[in-house]
Amino acid sequence: METELLAIAMIGGFFVLIIIGVPVAISLAVSGFVFGYLGFGATLFNLVPARIYGVVTNYTLLALPLFIFMGVMLEKSRLAEDLLDVIGLAMGRLRGGMAMAIVVVGVLMGASSGIVGATVVTAGLIALSPLIRRGYDHGVACGVICASGTLGQIIPPSLVLILLADIMGESVGTLFAAALIPGLILAGLFFLYLILLGVFLPHTVPPIPLAERQEVSTLRLIQRIILVVIPPIGLVILVLGSIIGGVAAPTEAASMGAMGSILLAAASGRLSLSVMTEVMRSSLATSAMCFFILICAQPFALAFRGLGGEHLVQDAFAMIPGGLDGQLLFLMLILFVLGFFLEWIEISYIALPMFLPIFVAADVDMAWIAILVAMNLQTSFLTPPFGWALFFLKGVAPPQVTTLAIYRGVLPFIGIQLVGLALLFLFPELATWLPDAIGW
């Protein structure tokens, strides 16, 4: 019992370090080493190197920096900017058309890299001021940009799904296939919300003025769609199709995606030494952050398991009414609440390993659990006070856009994401049908 009390104290110590401003990775490592040493001495230090070696030599995780490079290249070479401009003009005659274009770009950018910051910042810089200038409600404009940016967390190839595959022992291809339909359904729910706004509150989502649309001829618009929109879609289909179809491993497909993004930038005349340098620096910084947190999470996870934390969780779950469904709902609630205070990567490597043995023992489909977790973690980017999408957008928003408007704008989309989560909970086939159909 003494070691289990240390496990509880370790979690409390971790949150104390976070509250006083210690970086998350350092908080994980310090709390893990300190309480692990108190629990079973220097033995911990003999086990940690093997765990870290397992992380840095994991072949699947090599896909992370490659997918990050792919997304950053599309952002820095301004190909994403062209996408938003062309799709916005094509849909501009509709009420809410510009907002719908942002959702489409969110899907394409999500399917290119899964980097929330890149999508939110790009859309915020390019689209927020034009949306406001054309009469969009500030909250709606901010909400659709933040929410569309988070689609990269559920639509493959998602960084979340790659890490969840490692945590849950599932293949990356299985999770990519399982996430495809739920991700598109969520984007469809965003579309439905914008359509309803156009019907019932048309003043909040006006169409692009006719005079502005007439500046670009129909033929010219079609040409731009072919040149600007089709190539990134082709790249996405090539990358995802090769993974889901079993033609290429995730790392191999990510390599093709990274090379494809370079070729697209070169074909558009946007590839230069300065762009390549900026892309490589940004990709290195993001990749290093991810791997540093993964490495620092190892002593924490090792200490928690050694101190008997898993038994505490199992005993707590045994007291939850409603059987397996009740336990799963409780897990979803915990993840949702943690999303107000922690990033998805810390939640994945702290909370999930505590609860997964219960569902593994119950023989639950882990691909379904993974997609439920991914869609739940997606809300952590929107929930204040620490929703990163909110911070990203505020950093590039014009002065007249207030923090309150951003918070007000994301609330309906948080609700929509919870509706999508409920649909996935009630109809597991949304996640399991495609992997079963293709034999994963």
The model's pLDDT over 212-227, given as tens digits with 9 standing for 90+, comes to 666 667 787 788 888 8
Q: How far is CA 304 from CA 14, 239, 300, in A?
A: 12, 38, 6
The pLDDT, as a whole number, for residue 390 is 81
Q: What percent of the chain has a predicted confidence (pLDDT) above 90?
A: 14
Query: Which residue type does 346 have?
Result: E
The pLDDT, as a whole number, for residue 440 is 62
The pLDDT, as a whole number, for residue 189 is 95
Average pLDDT over residues 331-359: 78
The pLDDT, as a whole number, for residue 269 is 85
Instruction: Give the chain's mean pLDDT.
Output: 82
Residues 84, 126 contacting (CB under 8 angstroms) = yes
DSSP secondary-structure letter at 371? H
The pLDDT, as a whole number, for residue 144 is 92
Measured distance CA(335)–CA(344) in Å, rounded: 9
The pLDDT, as a whole number, for residue 116 is 64
Q: For 220-366, where are the E strands, in sequence order?
A: none
pLDDT tens by residue, 238-293: 887 887 777 888 788 888 888 988 998 898 888 899 989 998 998 888 788 778 87
pLDDT greater than 90 at residue 21:
no
Measured distance CA(304)–CA(264) in Å, rounded: 46
pLDDT tens by residue, 36-81: 888 877 777 787 888 888 878 877 778 778 887 887 887 788 777 7
pLDDT greater than 60 at residue 329:
yes
pLDDT greater than 60 at residue 146:
yes
pLDDT greater than 70 at residue 133:
yes
Measured distance CA(385)–CA(156) in Å, rounded: 27
Q: What percent of the chain has a predicted confidence (pLDDT) above 70?
A: 92
pLDDT greater than 60 at residue 1:
no
pLDDT tens by residue, 359-391: 887 888 889 999 999 999 888 888 876 677 887
User: Which of 123-132, 185-194, 349-358, 379-388 is predicted most confidently?
Assistant: 185-194
The pLDDT, as a whole number, for residue 195 is 92
pLDDT greater than 60 at residue 110:
yes
pLDDT greater than 90 at residue 425:
yes
The pLDDT, as a whole number, for residue 372 is 93
Measured distance CA(9)–CA(33) in Å, rounded: 13
pLDDT bucket at 190, cuts 50 / 70 / 90: very high
Average pLDDT over residues 115-124: 70
Tell the residue number behind the tokens 């915990």, with chain if given.
Answer: 334
The pLDDT, as a whole number, for residue 222 is 83
The pLDDT, as a whole number, for residue 187 is 92
The pLDDT, as a whole number, for residue 300 is 82
